[in-house]
Amino acid sequence: MSSLGALAGIGDTPLVELCSVVPPNGARILAKLEWANPTGSMKDRMARAAIEGAVRDGLLKPGGTVVEYTAGSTGISLAFVCAVLGFNLHIVFSNAFSQEKRRTMLAFGATVEDIQSDSGAITESLVNAMVARAAEVSSEPGAWWCDQLNNRDAITGYVPMGEEIWAQSHGRIDAFVHAVGTAHSLHGVTRALHAHDPSIRIYAVEPSESAVLSGGPSGPNRIEGIGIGFVPPLWEPDEVDDILTVSADEAMRMARRLTQEEGLFAGTSSGANVVAALRVAERLGPDARIVTIMCDSGLRYLSTELYRSVGG
C-alpha cells in the first residue's frame, strides 16, 4: 500500500469513446472520465499538486490552515487532500453553487462560509468578492492561501492528465477541447500533449453568456466551474488555436443526453465540452480523433436545474 494513502488514487482515469451523441461518419470523440478520481472530479489533481507545492516551499506548516475561494469542486478536492494530510481548511463559497458541493466539503471537515449572490448567478463581482474574502482570511496566523487563479503548481498538477491522454490514445489525437475556469487544466494538458506533438490543435470553451476570452462582455453565467467573468491571470492565449462558446442551455441539454444516451452521468461543464467537441468534429472531418474531459459527475448537481426536474 502506498504511503500516500488515498492520494494514490488520483489519476489514471479511463478514456472512453462516445457512441450515441456523435453523428454517423463523424470524427471520433474520446472522453476522459475525471469523475474516477477519489472525490469525483479532475480537481483532485490540482489540489494535491498545490498543497504539496506549498509544503515543499515552506508556506504550509503542520497543523496549518489552507484557505481558498471556490465554486465547490476545487474546495472538495482541497478538503480531501487536507483530510489525508492533516491540514485545516477554510473555504469561501456562495449560494450560487450546488448544495451537494457544500455538503461534501463539510463532510470532509472543511469550514465553509458564504458570499451571497443576490441573483443566484455566477458573476464577476461575486468571484471578486470571494477572492477578496479569501485574502482576508489568509492573513490569519498559520494560514496559507491556495489562490487557485494564480497558483502555477495547479497547472503542473494537470500535466499527468495530458500524459495519460497521450498514452491511452496511443498518440493518435488531432485535437483537445476543454472548458476554461482558471485555465490550469487546459494548459497543463496542452503542455504535455504538445511536448509529444506540437501540431495537436487546442480548443478552449467558455460560456456564451460570459465570453470574455472571445472579447465579449462579462455576464451572469449558469455553468458552474467555468466562465469566471474575467480573463484568468495565467491564461495563455498563444497555446490555443480557437475559442468556442456554448450556452448554459446547450450544455445542460447535452449533459442530460450524455447521461441518458451514453450512460455518462455528466455535469454541466462536461456537457459544454461535448457540445464544443462536436463542433470541432464537424470542422476536422471523419478521420480526426478528438479528446475532451468529463470534469465531474452529475451527482454534484442533483439539486440544481440540471437534474432537479428530470423524470419528475
Q: Is 43 a catalytic residue?
A: yes
Catalytic residue among 94, 98, 210, 269: 269
Q: How many CA atoms lie within 13 A of 99 on its CB side?
A: 5
Compute φ and ψ for 111, nearest 5 degrees. -90, 130
193: left (phi over 0), alpha (psi -120 to 50) or beta: alpha
Q: Is 269 a catalytic residue?
A: yes
Catalytic residue among 43, 98, 101, 218: 43
- The set of cell numbers assigned to 64 is 496549518
Active-site residues: which are they? 43, 269
